[in-house]
């Protein structure tokens, strides 16, 4: 066992796991608090990546500002999706809104992806974008860690930490946890569920746009870039369970990043992203066969 390689893969895993932790937290809240099967999460990730790339490379906007604008744009689009698409469907169909919500999200994601490609990636399917000069930092064991890696870790680790603190200690966090655990009592004390849902969508989508921008900085922006992170977010949310405290979700996200990366010791590296789908499939198959798995999520109206 090559321990240096293992350590390197572990480090890469933590760095890639940090955005997954934040995405997983966002998806967990969307699934458990707003009860939406948000298959259009991929769209806001991709949008973030392209907005950042285009602004930085074609409009001459300084890279950090481009990233910020990308996050804001993604947040606005996410909130709009909830207000204009999901909420009217639920109002009309209630518990039978699962299929309409999914189908609409499917149309939104695929259609949106093609639109992005048509507008921004017609001739070249990938848009690279430089967030910062990527220099290697001095590290023990000669491990490789660049400034981009460190920035990713700090930014997303910071967001995750702030989110955990807000959910645990602030009034807003209590409201969110209250709506999640007992929507009836939330309405009784005067919470407007619709408002809470929009805020969750806005913040989760902004974070997803930010993640997209960082993915674009690392790998370049491509039209299909949002799918793998979105499925990772689903996996994290499912594995954590319905009433999971934010910290657990974050740790599972980090763990997923590590597992994906470390699996590269045994699987060819271009297949490691398949690990996510394999995990999801195995989890759901086990659940369907009646094997005990973490407490179920309830989607589509059955609050």
Partner 1 sequence: MESPDPGRAPRLDVRRLGTGYGSKQVVFDLSLEVGASEIVAVLGHNGAGKTTAMSAIFGLLPAREGAVELDGAAMTKLDPRTRVRAGMSFVPADNFVFADLTVAENLALGGLTESRADRRRGNLEWVFDRWPILAERRTQLAGTMSGGQRRLLSLGISLMSSPTLLLLDEPSLGLAPNVVDRLFADLRHLADERGLGVLIVEQSVAKVLAIADRAYVMRSGRVIAHETAGHFAQRDSLWELF
Partner 2 sequence: MEYWISYLDQAIIFAIFAVSLNVLVGYAGIFSIGSAAFGAIGGYVTALVTLNLGAPTIVALLLAALAGGIIAQVLSAPILGLSPEYVMLMTLSLSILLVAVIAAVPMLGGQQGLFNMPLPAFTGDKLLRPSQFLPWLVLFLIVTLLLVWRTAESPLGRLLRAARDDRTAVRSLGKNPLWAQISAFGLMSALTGLAGGLLVLYNGIAAPSMFSLNQTMLIFAMVVIGGIGSIPGSLAGAVLVVGIAPLLETVLRLSPEDSALVRPIVFGAVLILVMRLRPAGLVPERLRVPRALRSRVAATVPEISEPRPAVVDTSERPPVVLQVDGISKSFGGVQAVRDLSLQLRAGQITALVGPNGAGKSTVFNLVTGAIQPDAGSVVLEGRDITGWAPHRVARAGMVRSFQDLRVFAGLTPIENVMMGGLPHPGENPLALYAAFRSVHRRERAIAQDAAAWLDFVGVDPMLRVPTSSLSFAQQKQVAFARVLGTGARILLLDEPLSGIEGNAAEDMIALIDRMRSLGHTICIVEHSIQAISRLADWAYFMEEGTVTAEGRVADLLADSRLKEAYFGIA
Interface positions with partner 1 (CB under 8 A): 171, 174-175, 177-178, 181-182, 184-192, 243
Structure tokens at 203: 């913040």
Task: Give the list of residues 6+ apart from residue 25 with CB closer than 8 angstroms, or none.
Answer: 160, 163, 204, 236, 246, 249, 250, 253
Beta carbon nearer to partner 1, 171 or 302? 171
List the one residue out of 74, 68, 26 whose CA is nearest residue 232.
26
Query: SS3 for 127?
Result: strand
Residue 244: half-sphere exposure toward Cβ, Cα within 13 Å:
28
Q: What, of partner 1, partner 2, none, does residue 271 touch, CB below 5 to 8 Å by kind? A: partner 2
Tell me how far apart the alpha carbons of residues 251 and 150 are, in angstroms, rounded to a whole number. 18
Structure tokens at 106: 């499917």
Structure tokens at 159: 């967001």
* Shortest Cβ 67–partner 2 spacing (Å): 26
Beta carbon nearer to partner 1, 158 or 181? 181
Q: What, of partner 2, partner 1, none, does residue 118 touch, CB below 5 to 8 Å by kind? A: partner 2
Beta carbon nearer to partner 1, 59 or 184? 184
* Shortest Cβ 190–partner 1 spacing (Å): 4
Beta carbon nearer to partner 1, 134 or 174? 174
* Shortest Cβ 23–partner 1 spacing (Å): 24
Query: SS3 for 290?
Result: coil
Q: Across the chain, where does the E strand assignment appear? A: none
Bridge partners, 146 (sequence order): 136
Q: What, of partner 1, partner 2, none, does residue 52 touch, CB below 5 to 8 Å by kind? A: none
* Shortest Cβ 165–partner 1 spacing (Å): 15
* Shortest Cβ 153–partner 1 spacing (Å): 31
* Shortest Cβ 184–partner 1 spacing (Å): 6
Beta carbon nearer to partner 2, 71 or 105? 105
Q: Binding residues for partner 2, per CB under 8 A?
A: 37, 85, 88-89, 93, 98-100, 102-104, 106-115, 117-118, 122, 227, 231, 234, 268, 270-271, 273-274, 277-278, 280-281, 284-290, 297, 299-300
Per residue in 80-99, is it b (16+ CB within 10 Å) or e — as a string? ebbeebbbebbeeeeeebbe
């Amino acid at each position: 066992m090559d321990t240096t390689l293992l350590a390197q893969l572990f480090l890469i895993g933590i760095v890639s796991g940090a955005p997954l932790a934040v995405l997983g937290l966002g998806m967990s809240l969307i699934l458990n608090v707003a009860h939406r099967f948000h298959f259009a999460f991929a769209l806001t990730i991709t949008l973030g990546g392209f907005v950042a790339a285009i602004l930085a490379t074609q409009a001459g906007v300084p890279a950090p500002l481009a990233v910020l604008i990308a996050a804001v744009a993604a947040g606005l689009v996410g909130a709009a999706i909830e207000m204009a698409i999901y909420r009217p469907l639920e109002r009309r169909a209630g518990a039978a809104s699962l299929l309409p919500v999914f189908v609409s999200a499917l149309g939104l994601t695929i259609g949106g992806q093609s639109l992005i490609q048509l507008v921004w990636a017609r001739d070249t399917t990938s848009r690279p974008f430089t967030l910062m000069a990527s220099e290697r930092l001095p590290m023990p064991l000669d491990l490789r860690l660049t400034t981009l890696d460190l920035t990713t870790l700090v930014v997303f680790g910071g967001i995750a930490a702030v989110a955990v603190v807000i959910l645990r200690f602030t009034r807003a966090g209590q409201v969110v946890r209250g709506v999640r655990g007992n929507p009836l009592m939330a309405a009784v004390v005067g919470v407007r569920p619709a408002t809470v849902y929009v805020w969750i969508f806005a913040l989760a989508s902004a974070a997803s746009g930010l993640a997209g921008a960082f993915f674009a900085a690392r790998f370049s922006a491509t039209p299909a870039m949002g799918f793998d992170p979105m499925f990772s977010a689903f996996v994290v949310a499912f594995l954590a369970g319905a009433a999971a405290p934010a910290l657990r979700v974050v740790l599972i996200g980090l763990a997923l990043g590590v597992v994906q990366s470390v699996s590269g010791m045994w699987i060819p590296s271009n297949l490691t992203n398949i690990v996510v789908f394999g995990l999801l499939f195995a989890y759901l198959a086990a659940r369907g066969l009646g094997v005990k798995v973490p407490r179920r999520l309830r989607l589509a109206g059955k609050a």
